[in-house]
Structure 1
Amino acid sequence: MRRHHPDIYDVVIAGAGPVGLFLACELRLFDLSVLVLEQAEDPHSPLKRLPFGMRGLSAPTLEALYRRGLLDEVVAAQRESDAAGKNATTTHWTGQPRRPAGHFAGIQFYHDDVDTSKWPYRLPSPADTSMAVELETLETVLARRASAMGAEIRRGFGANAIRASDDEVNVHAGGETFAGRWLVGCDGGRSAMRKAGAFGFVGTEPEFTGYSVEVEMADQQALRPGRHYTSKGMYTYARPGTIAMVEFDGGAFHRIQPITLEHVQAVLRRVSDTDITLTKLQIATTWTDRAFQATTYRKGRVLLAGDAAHIHSPLGGQGLNLGLGDAMNLGWKLASTIRGDAPTNLLDSYQRERHPVGANVLDWSRAQVALMRPTQSTRALAAVIRDLIETRDGATYFAERVWGVSLRYDLGGGHPLVGRSAPDFELVDGTKVGGLLREGKGLFLEFGPGASLQALASRWREQVTYVASDVKERLGLRAVLLRPDGFVAWASEAAIRDEEIAEVLARWFGKPGNARGSA
C-alpha cells in the first residue's frame, strides 16, 4: 500500500474517534492516502473506560468488524482489559437469573423471550447479535489498525475551518493547512466541520439534563441499587458510587457551568427524594436528549459521518453503532469515486441509505424519552410497554431494533434478502463469507454444480471476487451478490440470466474493466 502524498491527501478525516478511525481503515483498504486530524492530544480519558465508557455493539457493527478481520482483535483486547482488573464495576442488573438482552427506556427484555426463528436469513457466525466493549479498547484497536495500514494520525490538530473548491478541500488545523481531495467530518456532535461547511442541522430541543457521575457518599445504603423513576426524573445507582440521573429541566444545566459536588448533590436529592450526602465527586459529565440531524450528509467534497451528522441521547447506546454503520457504508463508495471506477451517483447512495437510518434512531431515542417523563400518564404508558415487551413477539420486535437485525436498505430488489446484511454462508471447505470480504471487494457467490457466470464476473475482477462453491445452507438460493460492506445487492433462487447479473454488477461497480483514475 502506498503512503500519503506529501502535498495533497486523497481524504482528510476530522476526528479520531471510532468512526473516523474505522473510516480511515476502510479507505486504506483501497490504497488511498488518508490523514486523520484529532483535537485531543491524549486519546485516553476516564470517560472512555468503565463505568461510563462501556458501549454495546450491535449486530451490524459486529459483522462489520468481523468482515474486516477486526472482531477477534477487539474481543481479545477487551478480555485483556477485563483480566487486568480494570472492569471491577458491575452494572445494576448483574446477578439476575435471566440473561438481559437489552432495554427500551430501562424496560428490559430477555434472551429467552426472543424468537430468533423470525430471522430465517441469519446463519451462525462469529459476529453475535450484541457485545459490550469499552470505548477506549475499541479506539485503541482501530487506531493501531489504521496506523499499521498507513493512515497518518495527527493528534493535537483540531480542524476548525475549511476552504472548498471544485477540486479539493483545504482544512485548517493546529495552525497549519492540509489539502485533501475530499474531507469527511467525524468530529462529533459539536462538529466544527459541519458548521464550517454550513450544513443544515435540524431536530428537537432537549427536555432534560442527564448526569453520569462517580461519587463517594456518606452512606452507600441511602440509595437502592437499580433504576428508579421518580416524580422529578430518573436515576440508576450501582455501588459503590456510580450514578446516572435525569432531571427534566429542558437541558438547562448542560455545559452551562462547571459541575460541582454541591450541584450534583442538590440534583440527586431532588431526583431521588432523599437527603443523600456526597463527600467526593470523582468524575462527572452531563448530556441531554437533544436530537438533531444534518439535512444532507454531503455538500460538494465535504461529507459528514457519525455524531457530526446526527446527535441524540445516549439512551439505548445506539450512537456508536450508527456512526460505525455510516463509516462502513461510506468507505467503499468514496474510495470507488476517488479511484474513478464508481458508477454514476454511487456516492449519492450514502445519503439515500444512511439518512433514513439516522432518522429512525433519533425517533427511537425520542420515544424512550417519552417513557421517562415524570408524569402519571407516562408511568401508565410504560406499564403497557412493559407488558408488551414481556411477550415473545414484543421481545423479538425490540431485539430486532436494538440489535440492528431489522436493518434493511431500500435497494429495489425483489428478493427479501436484498438490502440486508448477508448471511454468513459456510462453503463446503469450511470457508465463511465473512472471511472473504476482508479486502473490501464485492463478492459474487454462485452455489452448486453447473456454475456458469465466472467469465461474466471476471470482467469486474478488480472490484468483485467470484466464488463458485456449494454451501452448507443455501437458504434456497442459486447465487448472491454482496457489496463490499457485506450487504446483499442481488439474490436469485431461479436460473440466472447473464444480462440480469451484468446490469446489477454495473449498477454497483461501474463499467467492466473501467480504468481507474481519480476524482
Structure 2
Amino acid sequence: MRDVIVVGGGPVGLFLAGELALAGCSVLVLERDQELSSPLKALPLGLRSLNAGSAETFHRRGLLDAMLDASGVDAKEVGADPNAVEAPAPRDVSHFAGMGLDAAGIDAPALPLRLPSPAMEGFMTSLEAVSTLLAERAATLGVRVIRGVSVTAVAQDDDGVTATAGGRKYQGHWLVGCDGGRSAVRGLVGFDFVGTDPLFTGYVAKVTFADPEQLPFGFNLTPNGMYLRAPLGYLGMNDFDGDTFDRSRPLTREHLQAVLRRISGTDATLTGVELASTFTDRAMQVSSYKMGRVLLGGDAAHIHSPLGGPGLNLGIGDAVNLGWKLAATVHGTAREGLLDTYTDERHPVGAAVLDWSRAQVATMKPGSHAPALRKLILDLMHTPDGVTHVYRQTSGLFNRYDLGSEQPLVGRSAPDFRFTNGTRLGDLLRRGQGVLLDFTLDRVLQTAAKGWQDRVHYAAGSVHNDLGLAAVFVRPDGIVAWADHHADREAFQQAATHWLGDPQK
C-alpha cells in the first residue's frame, strides 16, 4: 500500500507527487494519457504563463534555472540584480480582459515587504516544458507513474483508499485527484461542485492564413467578442454564444473561419487548421477540497476561463500548500486538523480567481453598453492604484492566508532574505522543511529549534535587509508562520507546534 495515490500526471499532480516524495512519502501517480507529451501541450497551443508566485515556488525547490532553460527565458528577465538590497519595481504586469497595462504605472512603494530575488517576474512557458521537468523531478525522487490508465472507481474507509484503474485495484492511505476540469475522482467521490454557467465558447487553434495582414497580433476586443493572434500560427477566439456550440463536433476549417470572420469583422481566410481545441468560461469550485481520505487539487477543485492564465498557477499553489501538510499527516507528526487548513487557505484563493475570471468575461461580453464599461475600467486601470491592484491580483505574490496574527508578514509569502554569505531563504527551502531565520548575533533561538531539528532548518546570521525583524519562521511552503522584532522563544515554539506538530513525535 502506498502512502498517497495521485490521480493525474499533469503539472499539478507531478508537482504534488514530488513534494510528497521529497518529504519521504511513497507515491503512485495514475495518469490517463499514455504519453507525457502531446501537440496540445507543445507550443503554440500549450503556451502558458507562470506568474511571479509560481516562479518563486520553483526557485524555492531549486527548479527555477531548469524551468527558465526549458522555456528559453533569460534569468535576467525574471530576477533582480543579485547584489540588490531593495526590491526593484515590477517590470511586467498581466492584462485584464485583453486590455494591456503599463508596469511603469505601478506604485512600487505600495507593494509590501518585498526583497530582491531570482524570481521577481513571471514568464511564458509551455505545458510540455513544465510537465517534462516535473516528471523528471518526480522520477528522481522515486515516484512511480503508471500511464494509460483511467480511474473508474474510488472506495475509501477509515484505513485507506482503493482506486480502480485499467482493470486493477491500487491501494493507498490517501488519494488526491489532480485529474483536471473533468475530474473522474471528483465525480466518483461525490464532491459538491458549484458555480456559474458559461457565456462563451473559446477556441484555440494552430492555423495558417491567406491574408494575415487583416488580423493584428495581440488581443483584439471587438463588438462581437475577442480574438488573439500570436506567433507560430496561434489563434484564440472567445465567441459569446452562451456555450451553444456542441464541443463533440469536429472543429472544421469552415467553422473556425466563420467564427473568426464574425468576431473580427473581416473576411480573413484560413487556409489550414493543423490543430484545434475548445474551452468555456464555466466557473465552478468544490465546496471543500477534502472528503474523508480523498482530496482535490488544481482544475479538479476549480475551473474557470483561462483569461490571464491563472489555472496552472493556482494549481501549483494548491500543490505546494497541500504537499507538506499531507506528508506530515502520513508520518503522524501533524496536529489534529492540520489537513483541514488546506481547504481553509486555498478555497478563498480559488474563489477570488473565479471572481477575477468572471469580471473579465463580463467586461468582454458584447452589447451596446460594453464599450462604455470597457472604457471606464481601462481608465481606472491606468491610474497608479488601478494598475497596482491588477498587479497584486495577478502576480501571485500577495495572497495572504488568515493565520490569526496582526503581524503584517504572517500569512504572506516570505521575502527572499539574503544572508551576507550569499545564502538565500529560497536555497534553504529546497529540502521542503520549515526554516527558522535568526538575525540575532547571539543565536537566541538555536536551542528552541532543536526540538524540531528533523522538520526545521535553523539559519542564523546577518542579512542584507532584515526588514526590521529579529526572527522569522517560515513554513515548508514558503509562508511566514511567525515573525517578530524580538527573538521570543516561547512565541516561536507555539508557532512551530501549531504548524509542525509536537516536537516529541
TM-score norm. by structure 1 comes to: 0.92
Counterpart pick for 2:328 among 336, 339, 360: 336
Tell me the distance in 1 between the aligned counterparts of 2:248 and 2:209.
25
Tell me the distance in 2 between the aligned counterparts of 1:361 and 1:106.
16
Counterpart pick for 2:114 among 119, 122, 130: 122
Tell me the distance in 1 between the aligned counterparts of 2:320 and 2:232.
39
Q: Aligned to 2:72, what secondary structure does the other structure show?
A: helix
5 Å-filtered alignment, 1:77-476, equals 77-79=70-72, 101-238=93-230, 241-253=233-245, 255-476=247-468
5 Å-filtered alignment, 1:34-49, equals 34-49=27-42
Amino acid at match of 1:24: A
Cα deviation per residue 1:285-337 (whole Å; 9 max; x = unaligned)? 11110000011100010000000000000001000000000000000000000
Q: Which moves more between the two structures, 174-183 or 265-274? A: 265-274
Query: Alpha-carbon deviation of 1:238?
Result: 3.7
Aligned to 1:500: 491
Aligned to 1:56: 49
Cα deviation per residue 1:78-128 (whole Å; 9 max; x = unaligned)? 2299xxxxxxxxxxxxxxxx9752100011112222232222411111112
Q: Aligned to 1:195, what secondary structure does the other structure show?
A: helix
Cα deviation per residue 1:132-186 (whole Å; 9 max; x = unaligned)? 1111011100000100110001110122211111111110111111101100000
Q: Structure 1 residues 219, 486: CA separation in 2 closer, same or farther (over 3 Å shift)?
A: same
Q: Aligned to 1:177, what secondary structure does the other structure show?
A: strand
Tell me the distance in 1 between the aligned counterparts of 2:147 and 2:487.
54
1:216–1:240 Cα contact (<8 Å) kept:
no
Q: Structure 1 residues 254, 118: CA separation in 2 closer, same or farther (over 3 Å shift)?
A: farther
Amino acid at match of 1:26: E
Unaligned residue ranges in structure 2 (runs of 5+):
75-89
TM-score norm. by structure 2 comes to: 0.94
Query: Alpha-carbon deviation of 1:513?
Result: 2.1
Tell me the distance in 2 between the aligned counterparts of 1:502 and 1:223.
61
Aligned to 1:9: 2
1:216–1:281 Cα contact (<8 Å) kept:
yes
Q: Aligned to 1:73, what secondary structure does the other structure show?
A: helix
Q: In angstroms, what is the RMSD of aligned CA positions? A: 1.8
Q: Which moves more between the two structures, 46-55 or 36-45? A: 46-55
Amino acid at match of 1:483: R
Tell me the distance in 2 between the aligned counterparts of 1:309 and 1:445.
34
Q: Which moves more between the two structures, 259-268 or 24-33? A: 259-268
Tell me the distance in 2 between the aligned counterparts of 1:222 and 1:171.
52
Amino acid at match of 1:513: Q
Tell me the distance in 1 between the aligned counterparts of 2:431 and 2:419.
18
Tell me the distance in 2 between the aligned counterparts of 1:476 and 1:343.
31
Counterpart pick for 1:18 among 11, 16, 23: 11
1:185–1:304 Cα contact (<8 Å) kept:
yes
Q: Aligned to 1:502, what secondary structure does the other structure show?
A: helix
Tell me the distance in 2 between the aligned counterparts of 1:358 and 1:117.
27
Amino acid at match of 2:388: T
Query: Alpha-carbon deviation of 1:221?
Result: 2.6
Tell me the distance in 2 between the aligned counterparts of 1:101 and 1:386.
14
Amino acid at match of 1:505: A
Aligned to 1:512: 503
Cα deviation per residue 1:310-367 (whole Å; 9 max; x = unaligned)? 0000001000000000000000000000000001110000000000000000000000
Cα deviation per residue 1:22-53 (whole Å; 9 max; x = unaligned)? 00110011111100011000121222122221
Tell me the distance in 1 between the aligned counterparts of 2:474 and 2:334.
16
Tell me the distance in 2 between the aligned counterparts of 1:434 and 1:354.
22
Aligned to 2:83: none
Tell me the distance in 1 between the aligned counterparts of 2:212 and 2:55.
37
Tell me the distance in 2 between the aligned counterparts of 1:240 and 1:156.
30
Q: Structure 1 residues 491, 392: CA separation in 2 closer, same or farther (over 3 Å shift)?
A: same
